[in-house]
Amino acid sequence: MNLQVEMEHHRGVLIVRLTGELDHHTADLVRLQMDEAIQRRQCEHVVLSLNGLQFMDSSGLGVILGRYKLIKQKGGKMAVCDVNPSIYRLLEMSGLFKIMPIYENEGMALSGLEVVS
C-alpha cells in the first residue's frame, strides 16, 4: 500500500495527516516533507493525525521521534490524534505517550496545544 501525506497550516501549527503505511519505504518521504514544512513555514507546533494510517514500523517511529526532537528544539510542542487501535498499541509500547500527548481528534489536539480556532 502507498502513503498519502496531507499538510495544513493552522495558526502556527502544522497539521500532518497520514493515510496508508508509514514504513521503511515511505519514511524518508515523510521526513523530508515534514522537515521542509517546519523550516519553511516557521511552525510553532505539530499535530500528527493518524486516522488513515493502517501500518507503521520502526522507521515510522523514527520519523515521529525525529520531528518531535526538531520541533522541541524550536520551543514547540507535538501531539498525536485520531490513532487507530493497532497503531495506538505500537505507540504505547514504544513509550511515545510519555513524551507526547494523544488526543481524540484534531480539534482537541489544537485546544490541547492552546491554539484557538
CATH code for 3-112?
3.30.750.24
Q: What is the pTM of this model?
A: 0.92
pLDDT computed for residue 117 by the predictor: 47
What residue ranges do the domains of the chain occupy?
3-112
Residue 4 pLDDT > 50, yes or no?
Answer: yes
Contact 96, 63 (CB under 8 A): no
Mean per-residue pLDDT, 53-78: 95
DSSP state, residue 75? T
Cross-sheet strand order for the sheet of 3-10: 3-10, 13-22, 45-56, 78-81, 102-103
Residue 1 pLDDT > 70, yes or no?
Answer: no
